[in-house]
Structure 1
């Protein structure tokens, strides 16, 4: 049986120092092992690491070709209150992100917004009225 968990998300970075600075501007805490060659941010649910894109593709046994367009994957930051979507997006905007969808009420009853980090990774900021978080802030159910 495969353990049903996501422990680490790694983003392949074209310019790791620049991408690292973006997440630092959000106020995210890094682990002690972080550097401009590889860094890891602590989040409530999983660790988020940044690794040079070409090195990641090589490590994964993939051809070194340029990523193009939307990969079909989004990452999400879920907040506790609807107004926190707007507040979070303003902080993210001031850190230099491109907002692709301004905060708005969602058809499913929550509130949502989307942004791109400096390397065009798609992130959602959302409030879900049915979300349940554990004591660390990790979403365990919605």
Structure 2
């Protein structure tokens, strides 16, 4: 049986120091294992790691594509930060923009009753910021249901 959990998300970084600086500027805390070669941030329930893109290609044995560079097309994956109020969506989006994120879609009222906005970090990893009125968080801030 495969355990039903996600424990680590790794972003392939063209520049670990650049992305490390971006996430640090958001106020995210790093683990002691972090450096400019590999960085790990603690979040509620999942660790976020930054690992050199070329090393990740080697590790996964994937085809690097054109000129060994990541595609700037949408990969079909978003990372999400769920928050506890509609107003917090707007505040988070304003904060990430101030720290160099590209706003892909300004916050809007979702058809399912929440509020959502989208941004990308300096290397085009896509993030969703969402308020879901049905979301349930545990004491650590991890979303456990909606």
| TM-score of the aligned structures, taking structure 2 as reference length | 0.95
Unpaired runs of 5+ residues, structure 1, are: none
Residue 67 of structure 1, CA deviation = 2.0
1:88 to 88, 92, 99: 92
Equivalent residue, structure 2, for 1:3: 3
Q: Does 1:116 align with 2:83?
A: no
Equivalent residue, structure 2, for 1:78: 82
Equivalent residue, structure 1, for 2:20: 20
| TM-score of the aligned structures, taking structure 1 as reference length | 0.98
Equivalent residue, structure 2, for 1:101: 105
Question: What do the CA deviations read for 1:9-60 (whole angstroms, capped 9, x no partner)?
Answer: 0000011110110001100000001001000000002000000000011011
Residue 63 of structure 1, CA deviation = 2.7
- Alpha-carbon distance between aligned partners in 2 of 1:121 and 1:85, rounded to the nearest angstrom: 18
- Alpha-carbon distance between aligned partners in 2 of 1:135 and 1:11, rounded to the nearest angstrom: 27
2:70 to 42, 67, 75: 67
- Matched residues, number: 142
